[in-house]
Chains A and B, each alone.
Chain A
Amino acid sequence: MIDRRVWIFLICALACVALIPFSNFDKPAKPGEKAKAHKSQNYRWVPEATAGAYLALAAMVAADSAARRPSSRERSVQNRA
């Protein structure tokens, strides 16, 4: 049984990944002119870093819950007792 937090963090990581393509922004246009065509404000690293943090957190929680789970040998000892 995987800790439910793993799924929550994976969903958060996916949401961040989904935001990456939208994280390049044009500079605001001056009065009366159309928005500049070139991408000038690159914030891709923000969702990328956040997604990375969530993946790391998911891995940490999964490893922690696996370490706390009793091994098959411990379970069989408990069952016999």
Chain B
Amino acid sequence: METFAVVAVIGIALAFDFTNGFHDAANAIATVVATRVLSPRVAVAWAAMFNFIAFVVFGTTVAATIAKGVVDPAVLSVGVVFTGLLGAIGWTLLTFYLGLPTSSSHALVGGIAGAAIGRAGLHTVQRSGLQKIGVFIVLSPMIGLALGLLFTLTLMWVFHRVRHVERLNRGFRVGQLLSSAAFSLGHGANDAQKTMGIILALLIASKHAAPTAGVPLWVVLAAHTAIGLGTLSGGWRIVKTMGSKITRLQPAGGVAAESAAAVTLFFTSSRGIPVSTTHTITGAIVGVGSTQRVSAVRWGVASQVVWAWVLTIPGALVIAYVGQLVLRALS
């Protein structure tokens, strides 16, 4: 019976990963599609490929943070992981219905924390782990913004004497291929690892893995396959063109924004810090837009990110907490 429950929860975790690829693919390919460097289908395949190979480049430190750094691993059980996922998915669906901004990454952290508190109390939360995640929730879009601005200024300074604008734009179109690949790599490294962390926590809880174990290879492959397939299957239908939603980007701006976000994601992924990839690229695009003037940026979109910081973790935490209480009452 427990094996069936473990398999079912792994299925839910992979479905969560699939939807992440499905709606976050737009972040990586929006500017490439908008500037017609690649067709939507080819762009999605390009992003999916780099999502998948991210595990070769980066380790699994983000997964370890999710599995062992948010709550005391001793308190984890199949029920805790299940209600944690329930909190994350429930909050994501609720905010989708209400039209509120959210972050699936932060929802996952809030969900696991809420489920653990519901099971064994507040002391089970690893204050240090949550503190690290909380600090970088705020820092990652701000690093993206500063880097996006600095990269744009650097590109403007380096190429301001170039007279052949057409040739320069062609160069930046090629550059966009590289920068979107780098961003997809960062996206795969950070977001797929969150699911790996959840599955590792589940395996530890169900005694299928030792508490000190690393992430098994099949989990790594399954998580990257799920996020890659999500990107491949749905991303092109919902390209929301982040570029035009926040500010109108030119090829050079696309290169700067994606490179800035990629650098931020490479840093956080290599240090085992889970962050929101959407917030990071949003910050970078705002940074690129603010090189022009304040009114070139739709600050309403930026303020949505701030609301997502404030609301997501507590919201998912409460749903998971209530879910855990219900589960305990039923059992």
On whether the beta carbons of B138 and A30 are closer than 8 Å, the reply is no
Instruction: Give, as a whole number of angstroms, the nearest-CB distance from B324 to chain A.
Output: 19
On whether the beta carbons of B139 and A35 are closer than 8 Å, the reply is no
**1/0 per position for B145-179, CB-CB distance to A under 8 A?**
11001100000000000000000000000000000
**1/0 per position for B210-222, CB-CB distance to A under 8 A?**
0110000000000
Q: If A25-B128, A35-B126, A47-B139 touch, does A30 touch B146 (CB 8 Å cutoff)?
A: no
With CB as the reference atom, state the residue of chain B lying closest to A61: B290
**Cβ-defined partner of B128 (8 Å) among A28, A46, A57:** A28
Instruction: Give, as a whole number of angstroms, the nearest-CB distance from B166 to chain A.
Output: 28
On whether the beta carbons of A35 and B127 are closer than 8 Å, the reply is yes
Contacts of A13-45 to chain B: CB distance below 8 A: 15-16, 19, 22-23, 25-32, 35, 41, 43
Instruction: Give, as a whole number of angstroms, the nearest-CB distance from A33 to chain B.
Output: 8
Q: If A12-B145, A57-B146 touch, does A4 touch B294 (CB 8 Å cutoff)?
A: yes
On whether the beta carbons of A30 and B211 are closer than 8 Å, the reply is yes
User: Range of interface residues on chain A?
Assistant: 20 to 34
A30 to B24, CA, bound (A): 33
On whether the beta carbons of B142 and A50 are closer than 8 Å, the reply is yes
Contacts of B52-70 to chain A: CB distance below 8 A: 64-65, 68-69
**Does B122 make an interface contact (CB < 8 A)?**
no
A18 to B149, CA, bound (A): 22
Q: If A31-B211, A53-B146 touch, does A46 touch B72 (CB 8 Å cutoff)?
A: no
Instruction: Give, as a whole number of angstroms, the nearest-CB distance from B177 to chain A.
Output: 28
Chain A residues closer than 8 Å to B211, beta-carbon distance: 30-31
With CB as the reference atom, state the residue of chain B lying closest to A23: B135
On whether the beta carbons of B139 and A46 are closer than 8 Å, the reply is yes
**Cβ-defined partner of A50 (8 Å) among B73, B146, B271, B294:** B146
A30 to B68, CA, bound (A): 8
Chain B CB count within 10 A is highest, among A27, A28, A57, for A28
Chain A residues closer than 8 Å to B129, beta-carbon distance: 25, 28
**Does B132 make an interface contact (CB < 8 A)?**
yes
Instruction: Give, as a whole number of angstroms, the nearest-CB distance from A22 to chain B.
Output: 5
**Does B304 make an interface contact (CB < 8 A)?**
no
**Cβ-defined partner of A29 (8 Å) among B72, B132, B290:** B72
**Does B131 make an interface contact (CB < 8 A)?**
yes
On whether the beta carbons of B131 and A16 are closer than 8 Å, the reply is no
Contacts of B91-137 to chain A: CB distance below 8 A: 126-129, 131-132, 134-135
On whether the beta carbons of A16 and B139 are closer than 8 Å, the reply is yes
Interface residues of A (CB under 8 A from B): 3-5, 8, 12, 15-16, 19, 22-23, 25-32, 35, 41, 43, 46-47, 50, 53-54, 57
- For the A-B complex with A26-B127, A31-B74 known, give 7 more contacts whose Cβ atoms are closer than 8 Å: A22-B134, A22-B135, A25-B132, A28-B64, A28-B128, A35-B126, A43-B132
